[in-house]
Amino acid sequence: MQRIGFIATENFQFMSFAALSAFEFANLVTGQAVYEIRVMSEHGGNMRSSMGVSIGTEKLHHDGFDTLIVGGAVGAPPASPALLDFLRASMPTVRRMASMCSGALVLADAGLLDGRRVTTHWYAARDLQKKFPAITVEEDRIFIHDGPVWTSAGMSAGIDLALGMVEKDLGADVARLVAKNLVVHHRRAGGQSQHSVLLELSPRSDRIQNALKYAESHLRNPLSVDELATQACLSPRQFSRAFRAETGQSPAKAIENLRLEAARLMIEQGRLPIDIVAQETGFADPERMRRAFLRAYGQPPQVLRRHARIAAA
Catalytic machinery residues: 101
| Three-state secondary-structure class, residue 15 | coil
Residue 6 pairs in a beta bridge with 39, 69
Of residues 200, 196, 214, the one with CA closest to residue 246: 200
Burial tier of 214 (Cβ tally within 10 Å: 0-12, 13-18, 19+): middle
Contact, 98 vs 160, CB < 8 A? Answer: no
| DSSP-derived pairing of the beta strands 149-152 and 96-99 | parallel
Of residues 199, 210, 198, 188, the one with CA closest to residue 268: 188
Contact, 3 vs 63, CB < 8 A? Answer: yes
CA angle 175, 189, 284 (to 5 degrees): 120
Q: How far apart are CA 124 and CA 56, in angstroms?
A: 28
Contact, 212 vs 198, CB < 8 A? Answer: yes
- For residue 155, the number of C-alpha atoms closer than 13 Å in the C-beta half-sphere is 11
Whole-number Cα distances in Å, 64 to 37, 90, 186, 251: 12, 10, 29, 56
- Residue 191, Cα to own-chain centre: how many angstroms? 8
Question: How many other CB atoms are there within 10 angstroms of residue 26's CB atom?
Answer: 25
